[in-house]
């Protein structure tokens, strides 16, 4: 199956490397980073292009832009892994629309388009008879979308609770374990490469809220938006608060929670028993689904990382390959 890969940051590189390394029946025929593009319907030489990117800062022909690749390359699935723009969703929304207009399947790790325009994009995909899949947008390597779609098919999902932001979880783990202040733990997270220079998006709970919106729309199709999430971050927590929780056999974690029957859609620091399955350490993510038949299911795994996220994207690609083989 032929793939056009747009975006060559950490995630894109992971996807390209894994496709080149593993024998999965996937061929990259189009590739674009922010400065250049390359295409070859016979399949691109990925190791050579990645080496060029490392050396020059771009991978292909600087006269070719991402949209040129999307509109002209010979491919069956667009893999869109450009950085998230939470406000506009662009340019990713434009990329995805262009591919759907050509009746190409789309796999993305980009939260912007799915949180902001999933209804429109899904309608376009349906119209074109192609798939729009976004396993990698939520909880990195955890196969939450596949679990919802296949494993828990037929279940009614009553509620979901999740630890969806690795940066916050790392900071809270360190504050609890070492008695660090929020500022100290944040500095440590930065040194470890777990926090951005501007951590607002993570520590204010916005990243977790966007993921919650994606999950809620996927599960219940209720059209909720980021503004509907009651969102509190972790930046005002004190080491004393963590110790007070600890004295009671508990700790504090940033929990994203959706319970439609109670109209709850919330991201907030919560007191939680230390032996609760959602209490995971470091940058791990965790998700508990409460369902009518299966009852509670908890998934734990890595929420970020180059190859970890590639795992989710490749899972989507192989799903499309199985489902649509010979029909796309």
Partner 1 sequence: MLLFSFRKLYSAGISKFFGYAVPACKIKDLSKLPCYYWSGGFVQVSMKLEMKDSPGQLVAALKPISDVGGNIIAVIHQREPDSDHDTLDVQIVLELPEGRLEKLVELLKEQGVHIQRIGEQRLLYKRTVILIGHLMHTGLSDTVDQIDSTGFAEVSELAMSMPAVKDRSSSRLTIKSVSKEDMEAALAILRRVSQQKSLLLIEPLEEIA
Nearer to partner 1, 14 or 199 (CB): 199
159 φ/ψ sector (left φ>0, alpha ψ -120 to 50, else beta): beta
With CB under 8 A as the contact rule, the residue among 67, 86, 152, 159 that binds partner 1 is 159
Q: What are residue 299's phi and psi, to 5 degrees?
A: -115, 135
Count of residues of this chain found to bind partner 1 when the rule CB under 8 A is applied = 29
Residues sharing a CB contact under 8 Å with residue 191, sequence separation 6 or more, in sequence order: none
Least Å distance, CB 260 to partner 1, is 14
Strand 77-80 vs strand 105-108: parallel, antiparallel, or unpaired?
parallel
72 is catalytic: no
Window 204-263: residues binding partner 1 (CB under 8 A): 232, 236-238, 240-241, 243-245, 247-250, 252, 255, 257
Nearer to partner 1, 161 or 319 (CB): 161
Please check whether residue 321 is in contact with residue 134, taking contact to mean a CB–CB distance below 8 angstroms.
no
Residues sharing a CB contact under 8 Å with residue 52, sequence separation 6 or more, in sequence order: 58, 59, 60
Catalytic pick from 211, 225, 262, 274?
A: 211
Nearer to partner 1, 67 or 294 (CB): 294
The sign one gets for the Cα dihedral 159, 121, 128, 3 is negative
Q: What are residue 298's phi and psi, to 5 degrees?
A: -120, 130
Please check whether residue 289 is in contact with residue 297, taking contact to mean a CB–CB distance below 8 angstroms.
yes
Window 265-294: residues binding partner 1 (CB under 8 A): 268-273, 276, 278, 288, 290
Contact string 30-59 vs partner 1 (x = CB under 8 A): ------------------------------
Strand 2-6 vs strand 264-273: parallel, antiparallel, or unpaired?
unpaired
Nearer to partner 1, 262 or 327 (CB): 262
Nearer to partner 1, 106 or 258 (CB): 258
Contact positions vs partner 1 (CB under 8 A): 159, 161, 232, 236-238, 240-241, 243-245, 247-250, 252, 255, 257, 268-273, 276, 278, 288, 290, 296
Q: Point out the residues that are catalytic.
A: 211
């Amino acid at each position: 199956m032929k793939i056009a890969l747009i975006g060559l940051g950490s995630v894109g590189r992971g996807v390209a490397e894994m496709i080149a390394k593993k024998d999965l029946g996937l061929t990259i025929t189009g590739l674009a980073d922010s400065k250049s593009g390359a295409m070859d319907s016979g399949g691109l030489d990925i190791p050579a292009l990645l080496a060029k990117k490392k050396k020059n800062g771009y991978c292909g022909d600087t006269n070719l832009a991402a949209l040129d690749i999307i509109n002209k390359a010979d491919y069956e699935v667009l893999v869109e892994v450009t950085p998230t723009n939470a406000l506009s969703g662009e340019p990713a929304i434009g990329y995805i629309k262009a591919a759907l207009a050509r009746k190409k399947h789309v796999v993305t790790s980009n939260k912007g388009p799915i949180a902001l325009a999933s209804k429109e994009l899904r309608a376009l995909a349906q119209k074109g008879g192609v798939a729009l899949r976004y396993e990698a947008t939520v909880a990195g390597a955890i196969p939450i979308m596949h679990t919802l779609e296949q494993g828990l098919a037929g279940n009614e999902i009553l509620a979901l609770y999740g630890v969806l932001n690795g940066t916050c979880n790392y900071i809270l783990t360190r504050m609890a374990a070492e008695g660090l202040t929020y500022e100290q733990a944040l500095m440590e997270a930065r040194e470890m490469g777990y926090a951005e220079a501007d951590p607002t998006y993570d520590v204010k709970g916005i990243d977790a809220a966007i993921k919650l919106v994606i999950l809620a729309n996927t599960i219940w199709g209720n059209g909720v938006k980021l503004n509907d999430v009651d969102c509190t971050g972790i930046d005002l927590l004190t080491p004393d608060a963590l110790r007070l929780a600890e004295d009671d056999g508990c700790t504090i974690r940033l929990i994203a929670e959706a319970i439609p029957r109670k109209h709850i859609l919330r991201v907030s620091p919560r007191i939680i028993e230390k032996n609760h399955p959602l209490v995971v350490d470091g940058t791990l993510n965790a998700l508990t689904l409460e369902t009518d038949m299966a009852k509670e299911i908890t998934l734990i795994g890595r929420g970020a990382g180059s190859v970890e996220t590639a795992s989710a994207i490749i899972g989507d690609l192989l799903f499309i390959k199985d489902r649509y083989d010979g029909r796309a």
